[in-house]
Amino acid sequence: MDFMNNKFAQNMARKMLTQELDKLPDDAKAALGRTQVDLVRYDDRIEIVIDPGGDSDVEKVKDVMLDSLLAPISQIVTLFGCQVNVEQSSGNRG
């Protein structure tokens, strides 16, 4: 199986995220359009970084967005046959 082109996983993730995004009010959807997301690949991890840049609406959707990504990402990882541990951090990673 070619994991890099796994259309099933991509479609599943797209469907889950679309369902979550459809629940958001229009102002939150607009704020997402102004949200800059940085994905940083390290040797042992991938970090998703969202800097609201002083935009209070982006600040509001940041947590919703990060929380919404946890379930689809963990489900994609399980498709690889791995065990997944999802934790809520109490602060920023240094």
pLDDT profile of the chain (94 residues), mean per 10 = 64 79 86 93 94 92 85 85 87 56
Phi, psi (deg, nearest 5) at residue 93: -85, 130
Question: What is the reported pLDDT for 88?
Answer: 82
Question: What is the reported pLDDT for 46?
Answer: 92
3-state secondary structure of 41: strand
Q: What is the pTM of this model?
A: 0.66
How large is the C-alpha radius of gyration of the chain? 15
Q: Which residues pair with 47 in a beta bridge?
A: 40
Question: What is the reported pLDDT for 4?
Answer: 52
Distance CA 15, CA 9 (A): 10
Distance CA 15, CA 32 (A): 18
Question: What is the reported pLDDT for 58?
Answer: 93
